Amino acid sequence: MTDAAAPDATVIPVTGETEAAGYDVVVGRGLLQRLPDLLGPQVRRVLIIHPRALRSTGDLVKDDLEKTGLTALTAEIPDAEEGKHIQVAAFCWQVLGQNDFTRSDAIVSVGGGAVSDTAGFVAATWLRGVRVVHMPTTLLGMVDAAVGGKTGINTAEGKNLVGAFHRPAGVLADLDTLLTLPKNELVSGMAEVAKCGFIADPEILNIIERDPAQVLNPHSVALRDVIERAIRVKAEVVSEDLRESGRREILNYGHTLGHAIELAERYQWRHGAAVSVGMMFAAELARSVGRLDDATADRHRSILESLGLPTSYRNDRWSALLDGIKRDKKNRGDQLRFVLLDGLAQPFTYDVPDTSLLFAAYQEVAE
């Protein structure tokens, strides 16, 4: 992440109920210099929340903000899902309180999706809502968690069951941060990119199929193309439905089983890997109930496997997975609901009439 000029930056707007509720997602390289403008002229204090692994990056952002005259502090939290706990949020609240943060001050998240989820939740709850800017440093964070205003922390009962809707003031997706991202993290993030291809923009799938290696190359034009396309998909959906009361549910494609796998694995599986299996399961379920053609169902497996993502999970864990599925946020009472496809880019929400259908579909992805 540098502070050089970024003339080639792409600005993707996310609109809101009012003009003031909208914000921009900026994609490019060398974007740090844009942070003060996103924070706005009223901000005097900024808390930068980052994981241990990004201490030097957090310090860089702090130093840069202090050069503009702002008071900047850092709060270091555990990496990945370990940072999404109420005790971590309480620590951040304590820092904010001890440093007299007011409603005109702000929070900046620097890190992956787990960090933006936690930092967003802290921002949503401190004084009932303060400004937050996300600076995602992972592919998953850029195309998913940082965009849309959903925040959350985990409980023993499930993932993201506690949270709030809180739109950011802006998102800076600096592609330079992907240059040092471990390969397995890049692969994991591609699950959310592929998801956007299946539910809304098939050109993403075409780009992956033409050269899977190129979309996993952090220097490539292909990777930037699919990132921007995935962000545009999410921006368009969340602009229409902030609070997941309607169409936004389509972004949950693959996540119902995916979250259940994460819970069963005590969050030791990467989110993208779990969602990949979840999408494969959703494709098999849609095929089994006569809604999805064989070619599109089979295309799930070929695309996901070409990226190095898993498409199967343990045969002996169905009981635990069903328990996790029953806690999914889409459910209404005892009615289990899944996002499925009627065809490519034709998502719909399916009310499951009998759990035996789920078990039968799971046999197609069990190993």
Structure tokens at 217: 């190359």
CB hemisphere CA count around 285 (13 angstroms): 28
Q: How far is CA 197 from CA 202, 286, 325, 344, in A?
A: 5, 17, 24, 8
Of all helices (H) and strands (E), which one includes residue 61?
Answer: helix 55-66
> Beta strands 23-28 and 10-14: pairing type?
antiparallel
Q: What is the length of the chain?
A: 367
Structure tokens at 133: 């800017």
Active site residue 330: no
Indicate which residue of 29, 85, 232, 255 is catalytic: 255
Active site residue 234: yes
Active site residue 150: yes
Active site residue 217: no
Q: What is the C-alpha separation between 57 and 45, in angstroms, rounded?
A: 18
Indicate which residue of 252, 284, 300, 337 is catalytic: 252
DSSP state of 231: H
Active site residue 244: yes
**Whether 153 contacts 160, CB under 8 Å:** yes
Active site residue 76: no
Q: How far is CA 55 from CA 88, 162, 330, in A?
A: 16, 27, 36
What would the DSSP string read from start to end of 112-164? SHHHHHHHHHHHHHGGG--EEEEEE-SHHIIIIITSSSEEEEEETTEEEEEEE
Q: Which residues are known binding-site members for Zn(2+)?
A: 192, 255, 271
Indicate which residue of 17, 19, 128, 266 is catalytic: 128
Indicate which residue of 76, 236, 244, 364 is catalytic: 244
In degrees and rounded to multiples of 5, residue 358 shows phi and psi of -65, -45
Indicate which residue of 45, 85, 234, 270 is catalytic: 234
Structure tokens at 74: 């850092």
Indicate which residue of 34, 85, 150, 299 is catalytic: 150
Q: Which residues are known binding-site members for NAD(+)?
A: 79-84, 113-117, 137-138, 150, 159, 177-180
Active site residue 300: no
Indicate which residue of 259, 270, 287, 299 is catalytic: 259
Active site residue 128: yes
Active site residue 55: no
Beta bridge partners of 49: 75, 109
First vs last Cα of the chain: how many Å apart? 41
Placement of tokens 């849609």 in the chain: 286
Q: Which residues are known binding-site members?
A: 79-84, 113-117, 137-138, 150, 159, 177-180, 192, 255, 271
Q: How far is CA 211 from CA 115, 205, 206, 208, in A?
A: 31, 10, 9, 6
Active site residue 192: yes
Q: Is 155 helix (H, G, I), strand (E, B) or coil?
A: strand
**Whether 19 contacts 241, CB under 8 Å:** no
Indicate which residue of 62, 85, 185, 192 is catalytic: 192
The residues that are catalytic are 128, 150, 192, 234, 244, 248, 252, 255, 259, 271
